[in-house]
Structure 1
Amino acid sequence: MSSIPKSINRISSIDLVKGLAILIMALDHVRDYVHAPAFLFDPADPEQTTLAIFFTRWVTHYCAPAFSFLAGMSAYMVGKRKPQNELSGFLLKRGIWLVVIDVTIVSFAWFFDFQFGVINLNVIASLGISMIALAGLVYFPRKIVLIFSLILIFGHNLLDDIRFDDSILWAIIHYQNIFFISENSMLLVAYPIIPWIGVMSLGYCLGAYYEKSVDNYKRKQTFNLIGILAILLFVILRWSNLYGEPNDFEQLGAFSKNLISFLNPSKYPPSLLYLLMTLGVTFLVLANSEKWKGKAVDFICTFGRVPFFFYIIHIYLIHVIAVGLAALTGFSWEKNMVLAAWGIIENPIPGYGFPLWVVYTVWVAVIFLLYPICKRFDRYKMGNKDKWWLSYF
């Protein structure tokens, strides 16, 4: 979730995509903490969900791939101002920083657990590990990095049948898993790093399309072509169940169920089909949004310039709101602080939760509450480029 330095002729379409991604991501996090069925069933289970619940979850699938890909693009652009060894060092330090932040500040935001009984390797840690890998990849020619990226993205599903259930290392690499370290502590590997490393390094390779020597029309043509081909390949592979997805598309008798099954490729780790579906749309938005203007675009871009800052504070805000909602509706929250073991065990407050319209109401409230804070921080960043520590936010 890194920002592109202002001094490099900032591309508003990239800020726009980042802003859209982070705001949509907030919707999913509000759903996790507020929606009543969040602990009753998987929102993508065609046998239990509704189209409204499914698409509330589905639209957020586009966030993590966009962040990872655009972080790679940002790395390329930062590299235009730095020698290779300085870029590598920056990526290494920032990657380590993101992992540390994920298992401390971000983890506490999720669980409100002062004992840190859950070590949570989530999306921020995945981005951090990908940056650490990219710190080494930048020493290779871009063509080699491109080949490496495509191999990871298109070939990693060949690893789907390889299982080492007791291996933490394998979980970090390619298999989401939970490990009970002791009676009171566990490790949750939520985001296996393959193929996320390939997504970030692909963004690094394609960052060259934002060189001043590249014509805007050529960039638009290329990105549109990649986006359309990616989505067409997704449709073909998903319909045929040939390759690229461990969970086959099923005909379940009803149109809504069939649609949910079709649009629900695996995320943990992201299958080839998941990446084709999500990155395809990302390419199309990048290709066609460069000339978008207006107050709405400026509003969204503000969040896109400070996505990591927004990410951290929005989880705390949503969790605090959930605590308040639980208290206001007569539920006890003292022991678990509302969803302290979110995503790992069943709802620690049985009966807690609200309809979907409340989710959207809280989501909009969170966005407008945090907008002035993000705008002020954005201005502070732009006015204090000499402060090195700001590059880590």
Structure 2
Amino acid sequence: MVEQQTQTPAAAPLPRLDFIDALRGLVIALMVLDHTRDFVNRQAFLFDPLDLDKTSVALFLTRWVTHLCAPTFVLLSGVSIFLQAHRGKTGWPLSRFLLTRGLWLIFLEITVVDFGFDFRPAIFLQVIYAIGLSMVLMSAVVHLPRRVVLGLGIVLVAGHNLFDGVDAATLGAWGLPWHLLMQPGVLPFGFIAYPVLPWFGVMCVGYGIGGIYLMEPSHRSRTLALLAIGALLLFFVLRLPNLYGDPRPWTVPADASLTPLAVMSVAKYPPSLDYVLVTLGISTLIGLALGRAPAWLLKPFLAFGRTPMLSYLLHIYLAHTFAVIIAQFYGVPAAHFIGTLSDPSRLRADGWGLSLWGTYAVWLAVLVVLYPMAKAYARYRATHKRWWLSYL
């Protein structure tokens, strides 16, 4: 069962925590940057922006900062599940909601999301799939005590790197389950980038620390700050001597001045322990800073953060469509943007792509178009109580 304090019907109503919405909105904006770069940046079709032998510092940081998105989103999903339980949605009603919403997210991933990336039917299992399947799993574990869920999350996040050497190709019939659980790769029906177990661990951790968000504000801020600083310190303790926590030990690059970037270049697919520590440490500190930011600065982040699913879905189509329109001025056929997720070779042959500064300009344009839609939908959600609103 969920711990007693999450079941008490007399629990005081919990005010909406704006800094959580603002942080969620910030990572939505960073996701827009990442996917806009995928569609319009020249280098995106040529090499990995984290490849220190080819990239620039600006391009590296543009890609690296978007690493904050997925773990923050998944952690906050776990926190939100705990807060729902605190508000009184416990037992079967909570499990049913998590199960149905999780299955809905998986459906959206393999239909609306993947079509938006490829402009044709495709199956590419990414972050929405990982969140959806994690929610399906959470529908079972929310009946356990919160500390047990937290412990499970820590074991999954910290322990999965023990199995880095296991290759699905050597497992025969067990190869497909291993890909779905632990190792990205090609599937008989598509590709998986986000195997679920490490991400489920992050969601369990979010659920497990959810009680911190019920603390008095100053106590909550101190506790979150200590956790964030502790995560960053542990990252450096593990990462600098290459002790544990990432399948790719760092080495001094050919340009020694890029050594700090080599240290920070950690594995996202699947998310290594080092990756989770550094990204969540940084994003937690950013969230605390957003809690002190002026209201005018928070407006767009709050709009995106209160409509995360709609904002996510719309931005893919906006960024992809912007790329198609802009490319027409460079003589690139629109048809070459069909199937780009699976095979960008035609765009590479076209020489398509904008500079990094051009990429940032398109990113801002996407946000400008997206903001009024997110704002209007956030206002609608705040004034209407429809069951389907919790699914979009």
What amino acid is the match of 2:109?
A: D
CA distance in 1, matches of 2:290, 2:311: 22
2:357 equivalent in structure 1: 357
Contact 2:82 2:207 (C-alpha < 8 Å) held by counterparts: yes
1:18 equivalent in structure 2: 24
Q: CA deviation at 1:151?
A: 0.4
Question: Is 1:96 equivalent to 2:103 in the alignment?
Answer: yes
Q: CA deviation at 1:339?
A: 5.5
CA distance in 1, matches of 2:125, 2:96: 23
CA distance in 2, matches of 1:383, 1:237: 48
Q: CA deviation at 1:282?
A: 2.2
2:320 equivalent in structure 1: 319
**1:206-237 deviation line (CA, Å, top 9, x unaligned):** 111222xx222221111111100111111121
1:129 equivalent in structure 2: 133
CA distance in 1, matches of 2:90, 2:301: 32
What's the secondary structure of 1:67's corresponding residue?
helix
1:176 equivalent in structure 2: 184
1:138 equivalent in structure 2: 142
Contact 1:227 1:279 (C-alpha < 8 Å) held by counterparts: yes
1:271 equivalent in structure 2: 272
Question: Is 1:241 equivalent to 2:249 in the alignment?
Answer: no
Query: Counterparts of 1:189-268 in structure 2 under 5 Å?
Result: 189-211=192-214, 214-268=215-269
What amino acid is the match of 2:139?
A: A
What amino acid is the match of 2:102?
A: G
Instruction: Quote the RMSD (CA, aligned, Å).
Output: 1.4
Contact 2:212 2:223 (C-alpha < 8 Å) held by counterparts: no
CA distance in 2, matches of 1:141, 1:24: 34
Q: CA deviation at 1:297?
A: 1.1
Output the TM-score relative to the length of structure 1. 0.92
Q: CA deviation at 1:138?
A: 0.4
CA distance in 2, matches of 1:12, 1:379: 15
CA distance in 2, matches of 1:34, 1:79: 42
**1:246-300 deviation line (CA, Å, top 9, x unaligned):** 0011112424432221111000000000000001112223344333332011221
CA distance in 1, matches of 2:296, 2:345: 40
Q: CA deviation at 1:305?
A: 0.6
What's the secondary structure of 2:196's corresponding residue?
coil
2:291 equivalent in structure 1: 290
Q: CA deviation at 1:347?
A: 3.0
Contact 1:221 1:287 (C-alpha < 8 Å) held by counterparts: no
What amino acid is the match of 1:38?
A: A
What amino acid is the match of 1:107?
A: D
1:3 equivalent in structure 2: none
1:305 equivalent in structure 2: 306
2:118 equivalent in structure 1: 111
**1:155-211 deviation line (CA, Å, top 9, x unaligned):** 1100101111262211111101013x4xxxx41101111210011111111111222
Q: CA deviation at 1:378?
A: 0.5
How many percent identity over aligned positions? 39
What amino acid is the match of 1:152?
A: L
2:5 equivalent in structure 1: none
CA distance in 1, matches of 2:332, 2:23: 38
What's the secondary structure of 1:109's corresponding residue?
helix
Contact 1:220 1:288 (C-alpha < 8 Å) held by counterparts: no
Give 5+ residue unaligned stretches, structure 2: 1-12
Output the TM-score relative to the length of structure 2. 0.92
2:69 equivalent in structure 1: 63
Contact 2:53 2:254 (C-alpha < 8 Å) held by counterparts: no
What amino acid is the match of 2:217?
A: N
What amino acid is the match of 1:282?
A: S
What's the secondary structure of 2:197's corresponding residue?
coil
Question: Is 1:388 equivalent to 2:387 in the alignment?
Answer: yes
Change (3 A) 1:149 1:69: same
Q: Judge which range, 41-50 or 290-299, deviates more.
A: 290-299
CA distance in 2, matches of 1:236, 1:141: 31
1:188 equivalent in structure 2: 191
Contact 1:73 1:203 (C-alpha < 8 Å) held by counterparts: yes
CA distance in 2, matches of 1:345, 1:256: 34
Question: Is 1:43 equivalent to 2:49 in the alignment?
Answer: yes
Contact 1:47 1:257 (C-alpha < 8 Å) held by counterparts: no
What amino acid is the match of 1:204?
A: Y
What's the secondary structure of 2:190's corresponding residue?
strand
CA distance in 2, matches of 1:332, 1:19: 34
CA distance in 2, matches of 1:347, 1:260: 29
1:78 equivalent in structure 2: 84
CA distance in 1, matches of 2:61, 2:16: 32
What's the secondary structure of 1:49's corresponding residue?
coil
